[in-house]
Chain A
Amino acid sequence: MSEMMRNRLMLAAAIFLAAIYLFPLYWMYITALKTGSAMFATPPQFWPSDPQWQIYGEVWQSRNMGRYLFNSLVIAFGAVSLICVLGVGCAYVLARYRNVWVDIGLFLILMLQVLPASLMITPIFVGFSQIGLLASPRFAVILAIAAKSMPFFVVLVRATFMSVPQELEEAALVDGNSRVGAFWHIVLPLARNGILVSAILIFMQAFGEFVYSKSIIQAVELQPASVGLNSFMGPNTNEWNNIMAYATMYVTPILAIFVLLQRRIVSGLTSGALK
């Protein structure tokens, strides 16, 4: 088989697999626009014959989505800020010092990543209620998400810091700067891309977070969009078009960000791994 034939075959396989993977997304966009009867038609329609555009406005109004999305943003921004402030320093130390304790610390950090949110929520809930954190439930969720996502952030940013040559820092020290000054002037600007990418990934995670928000936030006016989406669900759920319209409005902004920054995100994830 010639080289070109094989390449084409590989491309076809890749497109096919991508199509399977992206089909649910397509189905979400399509279903949102269907009428009630078209939704349940067999065989299913792959393109709505009578698109219902007004559904977005209706769902936004009736579900008060503005408030939900605002809460999601508050939680996501809060978690990202907290993680950045605490995680950057942690990652820097782990990148610059090499000894047994650092290795143990790194191992523990990776261990944290293993524990699933649905397991952690019970002890976190009990603990937070003991110290009265449940009185400010959005902050409690921010804390919980920060704790959950911190390892991921630290590991990524550590790799970024390790790709910054130590000699640059030494040069800054010789040039008369302090350790802290060298960090701010030299290391941080050079690691900026990696930190930004990690922060965006964390933001997207936090924006869609569900388990902690659902368990900790009781008041409807403080709940994020993920919990709002869940409130559709009941024993006799059949308003799929509304659900899909809600999901579309929830997901599309994140998707847009990802598509726009996709190149930087991928290069940021691999920088540090490759010289």
Chain B
Amino acid sequence: MNNVPPRKRDVAMVFQTYALYPHMTVEQNLTYSLRIRGVSKAEMKKAAAEVAATTGLSELLGRYPRELSGGQRQRVAMSRAIIRNPKAFLFDEPLSNLDAALRVHMRKEIRMLHDRLGATSVYVTHDQVEAMTMADHVVVMRDGIIEQQGRPLDLYDRPANKFVAGFIGSPAMNFIPATVGQDGLSLVVHVGEPQTIVMDRALEPGRSVFAGLRPEHLHAADAGEGTFRFPVGIVETTGSATYISTATTPEITIVDTTRRSIRSGDVIELSIRPSDVHVFDAQTGMRL
């Protein structure tokens, strides 16, 4: 495909900056590709009206891009891609220039659009939430090299290495230096005092590794029932969840949804299911 000129690829692209033609009205922007293909005027008008109706641009067809808001420009950029009915769509961080609320809204719209059109879409983003929520298949890349690919939940449940594990999920996964215990089935984590957690697989005893613990998998437990204990540093409340940061190095983040009263300076006990413990090699960062 690299040697095929862009115009012969039948790929539509939505640019990060939208790249709308400033000297053309919305309608002319939409129908530009059709004009090049030699579609008749009447058909172009019809196609523009149809697409504009689905993306809510019908009122704006006569305007110039400079007279539109950010969200409207974004919709024009997408409509320009849709109208061509291409084999594949290419989205290059299309939402990164929008404000947070609009981004969540457009995210859903793009996904709905994709479901309706059924054309292959490649969506480039550095927002892991967009990747997780929109994708059927996620490819995580770093410096041009594929780190891992698969379905979103596979990446979440079984990240191939520390980079993917830290990238997917919000807040990010906690990484704690640890040593495999003598039985090969437990980890001695070095945070505050050495404490032991159980994992669900066997590794060679004494190996130094990183334990990867997702904030939402760490549950505050009643006194005496937890697997390990931490002093509490900062408590942030969002309403639906409480973010707890421990006063240890490295800092550990916990997402608590039980609304139990925890305050800075308390010592909390935490539990984690053995199947939720991720283990990465200390040197290579690969999943063990």
Q: What is the minimal beta-carbon distance from A225 to any residue of chain B, in angstroms?
A: 38
Total A-B residue pairs with C-beta atoms closer than 8 Å?
Answer: 50
- What chain B residues lie within 8 Å of A175 (beta carbons)? 7, 32-33, 36, 80, 84
Interface residues on A, range: 10 to 19
Counting CB contacts under 8 A, is A168 at the interface? Answer: yes
List which A156-199 residues lie within 8 A (CB) of chain B. Answer: 165, 167-168, 170-178, 181, 185-186, 189-190
Which of chain B's residues has its CB closest to A192's CB?
A: B23
Band of interface residues on B: 20 to 34
Beyond A167-B15, A175-B36, A176-B36, whether A186 also contacts B21 by CB under 8 A is yes
Partner of A177, one of B7, B13, B84: B7
Q: Flag whether B19 is at the interface (Cβ < 8 A).
A: yes
Which residues in B have their C-beta under 8 angstroms from that of A178?
5, 7
Are B12 and A174 neighbours in the complex by a CB distance under 8 Å?
Answer: yes
Most buried by B among A167, A170, A171, A189: A171
Q: Return the CB mask of B220-245 against A: 1 if under 8 Å, else 0.
A: 00000000000000000000000000
Give the interface SS of chain A, mostly helix, strand, loop or mixed.
helix
* Cβ-defined partner of B19 (8 Å) among A167, A176, A181, A189: A167
**The residue from B13, B36, B90 contacting A181, defined by CB atoms under 8 A apart:** B36
Contacts of B36 in A (CB 8 A): 175-177, 181
Is B11 a contact partner of A168 (Cβ separation < 8 A)?
no
CB-based contact B21/A176 at 8 Å: no
A185 to B23: give the CA distance in the assembly, Å: 10
Once bound together, how far apart are the Cα atoms of A168 and B11, in whole Å? 16
Q: A175-B84, A176-B7, A177-B7 are in contact. Are A170 and B33 (CB under 8 A)?
A: no
| A174 near B11: Cβ-Cβ < 8 Å | yes
Residue ID in chain B nearest A179 by CB atoms: B5
The interface bits of chain B over 1-38 (1 if a CB of A lies within 8 angstroms of the residue's CB, else 0) are: 00001110101110101011111000000001100110
Whether A167 pairs with B17 at a CB distance below 8 angstroms is yes
Q: Counting chain B CB atoms within 10 Å of each CB, which of A168, A176, A190 scores highest?
A: A176
Say whether A165 contacts B17, CB under 8 Å. Answer: yes
Bound-state Cα–Cα, A185 to B11, Å: 20
- Given A173-B5, A173-B7, A174-B6, A168-B33 contact (CB < 8 Å): no
Bound-state Cα–Cα, A60 to B17, Å: 59
B280 to chain A, nearest CB (A): 39
With both chains docked as a complex, state the minimum distance between the C-beta of A162 and any C-beta of chain B, in angstroms. Answer: 16
| Complex alpha-carbon distance, A177 and B33, angstroms | 8
B-binding residues in A (CB < 8 A):
165, 167-168, 170-178, 181, 185-186, 189-190
14 further A-B pairs in the complex, CB-CB below 8 A; given A171-B21, A176-B36: A167-B19, A171-B20, A174-B6, A174-B7, A174-B9, A174-B11, A175-B7, A175-B32, A175-B36, A175-B80, A175-B84, A176-B7, A178-B7, A181-B36
Task: Give me 28 A-to-B residue pairs in the complex whose CB atoms sit less than 8 angstroms apart, sorted by A's number.
Answer: A165-B19, A167-B17, A167-B19, A168-B21, A170-B13, A170-B15, A171-B15, A171-B19, A172-B21, A172-B32, A173-B5, A173-B6, A174-B7, A174-B9, A174-B11, A174-B13, A174-B90, A175-B36, A175-B80, A175-B84, A176-B37, A176-B84, A177-B7, A177-B36, A178-B5, A185-B32, A186-B21, A190-B23
